[in-house]
Chains A and B, each alone.
Chain A
Amino acid sequence: MAALTAAFFMSGSWAGLGAAPGHWPAQAAAARSSTASTGSASYTVVQRQLDSGTTVREFVDSTGVVFAVSWSGPFLPDLKELLGAHFDSMVARGRGQGAQRSRLAVQDSTAVIVSEGHMGAFEGRAWVPSRLPSGFDLRGMP
């Protein structure tokens, strides 16, 4: 049953953090993949510069699951695509923040999302703690 669930998880339209890499428009994505490793685990970083000038990165483990994402640049990217099922957590937190608009941090049942910055310069990171490769340096994450 676990294997079946995993197969469905990976092959369906579900994408983003905690699932398969997102679907980004080809014309907007000059994708660059690089392989990195930490401890004994290797993973792939898929980096795209969007037409808006903002860079998005997906950190993909050896099973094809995105265990972390990040964004930085002048405009917000499609965070629903990047955060996948965890986007709703960010929306719920954002609605509850009152007048505070320069930063947001939220932890749901499986992921942590941090968004910060100001008009013209945004950045953010999100990760699934239980899926981080051992030794992965969150602070050094681009």
Chain B
Amino acid sequence: MTRPPSFSASAGPSSLFQRALSLLFALAAALALASCGGGGSGPPAPVPDMSAATGTAPPASGNVLPVTVDRGTNGASINVPYVSVTVCEPGTENCRTIDHVLVDTASDGLRLRASAVGALSLPVVENAAGTAVGECAQFATGHVWGSVRRADLRLAGERASSVPVQIAADPAPNFAAVPDVCSRTGAEITVGSGANGILGVGMLARDCGGACVVSTAPGIYFSCVATGCTATTLPLASQVANPVPLFASSNNNGVALILPAVPIGGAPALSGSLVFGIDTQPNNQLGAATVFKVNNLGNFSTTYKGQTFTASFIDSGSNAIFFSDPSLPECSGFYCPPAPLTLSAVNTSATGVSGTVDFIVESLPSVGSAAAAHLAADIGLSRSFDWGLPFFFGRTVFVATVGSSTSQGAGPFWAY
């Protein structure tokens, strides 16, 4: 067997010398996290709303990328956080800013819909044999098939050069056919409806890792010619990358996602921030946030009503809090209590640190056409408590990448 993607800290320490650069970015202090009540795990309702719910996001600057929760490109999304990313042909000023890219704390790497990339000419990544590389990126609901190409990325003031990204539904002939091995993992889901891409800023630096360097068994990377694709190994440096660890600045050890509180009944839109770096600037200090280390699969455990879910995670790409409670009524695919409920669960880290989380569940019909609301859902017989976007309401949630260094020790961990 191969080595799995490693959520254990095996990478070297982060570049401490780069911290000297941090003073250059102090301008972002005005958006200091301390003023947004990060770190608390109390009831969500009393947390002050840090934005006018319908307001516009602050402009991107320094290490702060504005996040908007709106109805998406299809006008039908709910609880989906979007950012704009600027993608450039490597080494040039030929760039395009792509809006409505979903921020996903549970995946790694940037995936863009080919139609959103348009006429930009991004060079394809090649394997050791010089053949173009395609990718079958895996998710629980299926796969995203597309090419692997390099782009310079600009996220607020942060820069990463020649980053391998995935181009979904790439029309180039080499990538026209989904390999059989890939199609046998489930549906082709592209980047999802309502979005132009997915920005994976989870705990891993590369979306496959060591397993794909030494083996084709994961079925992630393929060498593709006009007649089809076959599985290939791929060096780490060529694998689709979480852009954050590649930033030229010191803000490269993780992110904080900050969203305002949401009232009962939902909000028509939200404005928040994706802040790059942890403990590198005045606006990304861990402060009193509690650190939850994860196990070797990137998970912690959650206990709810006496049942423990051992494969729990925090996922800004899930549009509800997903957990099993047979006592709650369901409709429209979500729980629909007759009146809003406040429930409680206890998260326990891989090292035994625990904390209570109170959360609200209200019914989809009661929130009308809101873009953000306290929704939860069941899938039945789940092993995970999936803390989806409503968990982020009124919180600052930190994601420290594998091997990174912070004032609270090395990643990977969540902190809130």
Contact A122 B140 (CB under 8 A): yes
Contact B194 A99 (CB under 8 A): yes
Contact A99 B106 (CB under 8 A): no
Q: Check A100/B319 contact, CB under 8 A, given A75-B218, A114-B382.
A: yes
Shortest CB distance B342–A (Å): 23
Q: Mark A16-57, 1 if CB is under 8 A from B, else 0.
A: 000000000000100000000000000000000111110000
Q: Is chain A's interface secondary structure helix, strand, loop, or mixed overall?
A: mixed
Contact A120 B204 (CB under 8 A): yes
Contact B381 A118 (CB under 8 A): no
Question: What separation, in Å, do the CA atoms of A51 and B219 have in the docked complex?
Answer: 10
- Contacts of A101-132 to chain B: CB distance below 8 A: 101-105, 112, 114-125
In the complex, residue of chain B having the shortest beta-carbon distance to the beta carbon of A78: B184
Q: B393 contacts the other chain (Cβ, under 8 Å)?
A: no
Task: Please report the total number of B residues contacting A with Cβ < 8 Å.
Answer: 63
On chain B, the residues within 8 Å of A28 by CB distance are 217
Which of A76, A97, A99, A119 is in CB contact (< 8 Å) with B5? A119
Selecting from A7-15, A58-66, A88-96, the interface stretch reads: A88-96
Q: Check A74/B211 contact, CB under 8 A, given A94-B142, A103-B382.
A: yes
On chain B, the residues within 8 Å of A74 by CB distance are 4-5, 211, 218, 297
Contact A75 B140 (CB under 8 A): no
Question: What separation, in Å, do the CA atoms of A50 and B181 have in the docked complex?
Answer: 14
Q: A135 contacts the other chain (Cβ, under 8 Å)?
A: no
Contact B4 A120 (CB under 8 A): yes
Q: A133 contacts the other chain (Cβ, under 8 Å)?
A: no
Closest 7 A/B residue pairs (Cβ): A94-B187, A74-B4, A99-B192, A51-B217, A121-B297, A94-B142, A118-B106
Point out residues on B near A: beta carbons under 8 Å. Answer: 1-5, 7, 72, 76-77, 80, 102, 104, 106-108, 137-143, 181, 183-189, 192-195, 200, 202, 204, 207, 209, 211, 215, 217-220, 297-299, 311, 313, 315, 317-319, 322, 379-384, 386, 388
